Amino acid sequence: MKPEELSDTIIEFQSKHDVSDTSLAFASHLSVEKVHAMKQGRGNFTSDEVNQMLDYIQSQM
Protein backbone atom coordinates (compact mmCIF):
# COMPACT_ATOMS: atom_id res chain seq x y z
CA MET A 1 0.00 0.00 0.00
CA LYS A 2 1.34 3.43 -0.91
CA PRO A 3 1.82 5.93 1.93
CA GLU A 4 -0.91 8.24 0.60
CA GLU A 5 -3.37 5.31 0.40
CA LEU A 6 -2.58 4.36 3.99
CA SER A 7 -3.06 7.95 5.10
CA ASP A 8 -6.40 8.20 3.29
CA THR A 9 -7.56 4.89 4.79
CA ILE A 10 -6.73 6.00 8.33
CA ILE A 11 -8.32 9.44 7.93
CA GLU A 12 -11.45 7.99 6.34
CA PHE A 13 -11.77 5.44 9.16
CA GLN A 14 -11.33 8.12 11.81
CA SER A 15 -13.90 10.39 10.20
CA LYS A 16 -16.44 7.62 9.70
CA HIS A 17 -16.09 6.26 13.25
CA ASP A 18 -15.29 9.53 15.06
CA VAL A 19 -11.99 8.19 16.41
CA SER A 20 -9.15 10.40 17.65
CA ASP A 21 -5.48 9.68 17.01
CA THR A 22 -5.03 8.75 20.66
CA SER A 23 -7.97 6.33 20.65
CA LEU A 24 -6.80 4.76 17.40
CA ALA A 25 -3.28 4.34 18.73
CA PHE A 26 -4.54 2.71 21.94
CA ALA A 27 -6.92 0.37 20.13
CA SER A 28 -4.39 -0.67 17.48
CA HIS A 29 -1.56 -1.07 20.04
CA LEU A 30 0.63 1.48 18.26
CA SER A 31 2.05 4.74 19.55
CA VAL A 32 0.42 8.05 18.70
CA GLU A 33 3.68 8.98 16.98
CA LYS A 34 3.35 5.96 14.67
CA VAL A 35 -0.24 6.92 13.84
CA HIS A 36 0.88 10.47 13.03
CA ALA A 37 3.75 9.18 10.87
CA MET A 38 1.39 6.92 8.95
CA LYS A 39 -1.09 9.75 8.41
CA GLN A 40 1.73 12.02 7.17
CA GLY A 41 3.12 9.27 4.97
CA ARG A 42 6.61 9.59 6.34
CA GLY A 43 8.61 8.65 9.39
CA ASN A 44 9.69 5.47 11.07
CA PHE A 45 7.10 2.74 10.81
CA THR A 46 7.50 -0.81 9.60
CA SER A 47 5.43 -2.92 7.24
CA ASP A 48 4.42 -5.00 10.28
CA GLU A 49 3.07 -1.84 11.94
CA VAL A 50 1.18 -0.94 8.77
CA ASN A 51 -0.33 -4.42 8.73
CA GLN A 52 -1.21 -4.10 12.40
CA MET A 53 -3.05 -0.83 11.68
CA LEU A 54 -4.85 -2.24 8.65
CA ASP A 55 -5.84 -5.40 10.55
CA TYR A 56 -7.36 -3.25 13.27
CA ILE A 57 -9.25 -1.06 10.79
CA GLN A 58 -10.59 -4.11 8.94
CA SER A 59 -11.70 -5.71 12.20
CA GLN A 60 -13.86 -2.65 12.92
CA MET A 61 -15.69 -2.59 9.60
Using the predicted structure, report yes or no on whether residue 2 has a pLDDT greater than 90: no
Q: What is the pLDDT of residue 16?
A: 97
Q: What is the pLDDT of residue 1?
A: 79
* Residue range 7-37, pLDDT digits in tens: 999 999 999 999 999 999 999 999 999 999 9
Domain 3-59 class, CATH top level: mainly alpha
Using the predicted structure, report yes or no on whether residue 43 has a pLDDT greater than 90: no
Q: Taking residues 36-41, what's their average pLDDT?
A: 94
The full set of domain ranges for the chain reads 3-59
Predicted TM-score of the model (pTM): 0.90
Neighbouring CB atoms inside 10 A of 13's CB total 18
∠ CA 17-19-23, nearest 5°, is 140
